[in-house]
Amino acid sequence: MNALSQDVSASAAGSRLPALNDWVAQVAALTRPDSIRWCDGSDAESEALVAKMQADGTLLPLNADTHPNSWLHRSHPDDVARVEHLTFVCTSEQDDAGPNNHWMAPADGHAQMDALFDGCMQGRTMYVVPYCMGPIDSPLARCGVEITDSPYVVANMGIMTRMGAQALARIEREGTFVKGLHSIGELDPNRRYIMHFPEELTIKSFGSGYGGNALLGKKCHALRIASHQAKSEGWLAEHMLILGIENPQGETHYVAAAFPSACGKTNLAMLIPPEGYRSAGWKVWTIGDDICWMRPGADGRLYAINPEAGFFGVAPGTSAKSNPNALKSIQRNTIFTNVGVTADNQPWWEGLDNGQVPVTDWRGEAYDAAKRPAAHPNSRFTVSAKQCPSYSEKAEDAQGVPISAIVFGGRRASLVPLVFEARDWTHGVLVGAAMGSETTAAATGAVGVMRRDPMAMKPFCGYNFADYFSHWLSFDNGAAQLPKVFHVNWFRKSDEGKFLWPGFGDNLRVLEWMIGRVKGEAGAVETPIGHLPAVTDLNLDGVELSDEGKDKLFGFDQGAWQAEFASIGEYLDEYGPRMPQALKDEQQRIARLLAG
């Protein structure tokens, strides 16, 4: 214990904030690391971390000519996605966590986690990682400290957050921070839990090295804890991309859009306009691809920041066709996780379509398509947002960008048209609350099952969804200039099972219509489910749609929507007496219109 005591004593010099030093000392006494390292975010520190991981095989260097300063990490085969069934929200009252979360009493949660953490860092270094979510000088940003025994986590946090000395200085000024404690443990799936204590601004994660479970600034802080903070402080923490759309007149409108993981958020955030639009002068700017924090400004509009500094994107399907900006972003200074490699040591994944072939799969074994894909379906890349060709300097704007439109969407093969606009804010909240999507590989469990995923926040809301919907409704207070709300479905299929909409860059055609609606210039057809564009309301030059495509993308099946709204009503009832009556009234209003 003498050596450890010296380490803890020496580490106290890491901060001028006694509360932080005390917490670090308490964690060290519990986990018993061999040494403690306060991370400063410097280049020298990053180089030393990479060297350490290369030496122990945690990071494998990729082709230095094609992908300079890029690395491959292979996680444990049982540690490749979020584990929603092992993720808990620990509030004093179970109803405050809601039926949308797994709940555990805080005392029980701490006892269970501390038993796992007991002595878990023996033989390891304990890293103290101060970080800021959002521009370092933004009043909308919030800070945290993650303690971890994973240098891979430190390296990723260095890309995904504003990590190091500046963040520590802000924490010392403000005196408050989110506490995150993480250990990879033994990577045993039977000893793996992620616990959130929103009332204490605390996160404890054990037994996983996967990003969504281990990079505690990401989903754990920026959504589960931040959503709870946002409710008490009067803002919104959302699972949304942010993009700017600049028209030929030089006006830029900012859009926030919520989609479940692996449903095209990154593709939309980095959209490249079709040739005709580019020639006319349209531009798309990337603010963020995954998380959005919004707060009312002095003028009543919602202003948004991207709390992240990097992209933790899904690799499979990323190609020169689907997302050229993402592909250009990851040609250097990138950490790849669970992808395959080619004979000349380049990263490879299904859908890359670059004419190369993998020789080694994500488990490090010889590639055999009959055995498993080269890349895990949820394989990832971690890269600085500033490397994206469409990156906007507005991403560092301390005040955030004003949001003109909020968009909800998911994977729906049937029923849901290409786009519709909510009648008003209350209707828009219902549209978000009722959002459904077919599940993807980003979460463990079956793929392709339709489930309700309100605002794409089902796995991420840190409190009762009924209270969350009430919080959304509270922004319509008479003084606000709220964004218009839309719903999109890029994934509508024909009777033969083929996608009816080309998607990708052509999605700008839909965004152009939305901006037209915001400005009061675009036409629409009023229906019980909202305002739909007529086929002639969208610029479809160069897009060939079949009669079936036009019918299904721009129409609605009244009988099928009756059944959908009955299902929505049953879903809202699942949340019991806390469900806001205004939302139930809106559901019933539309149900009556559909029945009429």
Detail the residues annotated as belonging to a binding site for GTP: 262-267, 380, 411, 504-507
Cα gap 235→238, rounded to integer Å: 10
Residue 454 is which amino acid?
Answer: P
Residue 272 is which amino acid?
Answer: I
Cα gap 236→302, rounded to integer Å: 9
Q: Which helix (H) or strand (E) holds 6?
A: helix 2-11
Residue 210 is which amino acid?
Answer: Y
Task: Concatenate the DSSP letters of all residues of 54-123 into one string.
Answer: HHHTSSEE--TTTSTT-EEE---TT-SSB-GGGEEE--SSHHHH-TTSEE--HHHHHHHHHHHHTTTTTT
Cα gap 228→180, rounded to integer Å: 15
Break the chain down into helix, strand, coil percent, rounded to 5.
Answer: 35, 25, 40
Both tokens of 377, joined, read 């379906």
Cα gap 120→185, rounded to integer Å: 6
Binding residues for substrate: 82, 210-212, 261, 378-380
- 461: number of Cβ within 10 Å: 26
Smallest Cα–Cα separation from 28: which of 119, 155, 130? 119
Residue 508 is which amino acid?
Answer: L
Smallest Cα–Cα separation from 557: which of 412, 436, 413, 417? 417
Candidate list 263, 292, 388, 461, residue with the active-site label: 263
CB 157 within 8 A of CB 129: yes
Cα gap 302→404, rounded to integer Å: 8
Rg (CA), the chain: 24
Residue 217 is which amino acid?
Answer: G
Q: How many CA atoms lie within 13 A of 76 on its CB side?
A: 13
- From residue 90, alpha-carbon distances to 201, 352, 468, 532 in Å are 11, 41, 17, 42
Cα gap 121→127, rounded to integer Å: 10
Cα gap 203→376, rounded to integer Å: 27
Does residue 292 have an active-site annotation? no
Q: Partners of 432 in the beta sheet?
A: none
Q: Which sequence positions are flagged as catalytic?
A: 263
